[in-house]
Structure 1
Amino acid sequence: MSTPPTHTTDVELLERDADEGTAVLSYDLADRPTVAVVDAVATVEGVDPISLEPLHDAVDTDALDRLVGHTRSNGDVRVTFAFAGYEVEIEIGSAGRIRLEPRDR
């Protein structure tokens, strides 16, 4: 019997295009965006977040958390980077959204 994935944030799958492999997820702006990204990829892949490569190998996680934390009170921002085979786009406005697009398509 396999253990279900352990997620530490409450990401919600909003839309998924199986043909293109893209997905859009939302997350609570109170959560750290770095943790939400890992949970979003794990949700789409159906794996435990701990099984993914470390996010800090792809992006400066402290800088990303600071940028998004600062933005919550000062306006909209969009950040894009590669992680775990996806082009990850974090969009912060009135809500947190993460768009995942496979890099090999």
Structure 2
Amino acid sequence: MESTQESVGAIEIVDSMNDIEFDADEDAFRAEYDSRRDQPSLAVVAMVAAIDDRDPIELSPLHFVIDMEALDDLFSETATDGMRSGCLSFSYEGFDVTVFSEGTIEVSPITNA
């Protein structure tokens, strides 16, 4: 089965993130950004705001749910090892958010089961 994807919109506050794609089969939004240019924490806020059609300043501060400095440091380039690999997941503003080291963010609405 092939996934149905549609573009959600552009992100203006994160220079390296152009579009958010929605995968209807997986009920998930995905976007790519360049972690050498933009901080993952800012990219998460920008993406959630765009998906929820809200101004980023209307969202609760991200630092209420995760240590933003740790998030940014986790996916930044190191002087000796280059880029780290892995992913980190957390909940924010009614969404499950996963940040991947290769510069992808996946956001899915939290559903009540």
Select the structure of larger CA radius of gyration: 2
Question: What's the counterpart of residue 99 of structure 1?
Answer: 106
**Cα shift readout 1:19-69 (whole Å, capped 9, x = no counterpart):** 764201111222011000000101111111111111001101111111111
CA contact under 8 A between 1:14 and 1:25: conserved in structure 2? yes
Note if contact 2:75-2:84 (Cα within 8 Å) is conserved in structure 1. Answer: no
Counterpart of 2:47 in structure 1 is: 40
- Equivalent-residue separation in structure 2 for 1:77 and 1:84 (angstroms): 23
Superposition deviation, residue 76 in structure 1: 1.9
- Native 8 Å contact 2:75 2:83 kept in 1: no
Query: Amino acid of the residue matched to residue 79 of structure 1?
Result: L
TM-score with structure 1 length normalisation?
0.79
Q: 1:83 pairs with 71, 82, 92, which one?
A: 92
The TM-score normalised by the length of structure 2 is 0.74
Structure 1: stretches of 5+ with no match in the other structure: 1-5
Equivalent position of 2:13 in the other structure: 8
AA of the residue aligned to 1:8: I
The answer to which of 78-87 and 6-15 deviates more is 6-15
Alpha-carbon contact 1:7-1:48 (below 8 Å) kept: no
Deviations 1:53-89 (A, max 9, x none): 1100110111111111146923422110111111100
Runs of at least 5 residues in structure 2 that lack an aligned partner in the other structure: 1-10
- Among 17, 23, 29, the alignment partner of 2:29 is 23
CA deviation after TM superposition for structure 1 residue 15, in Å = 2.1
Cα 1:14/1:63, change in 2 over 3 Å: same
Q: Report the RMSD for the aligned CA atoms in angstroms.
A: 2.3
Higher helix proportion: 1
Aligned partner letter, 2:31: L
- 1:63 aligns to what SS in structure 2? helix
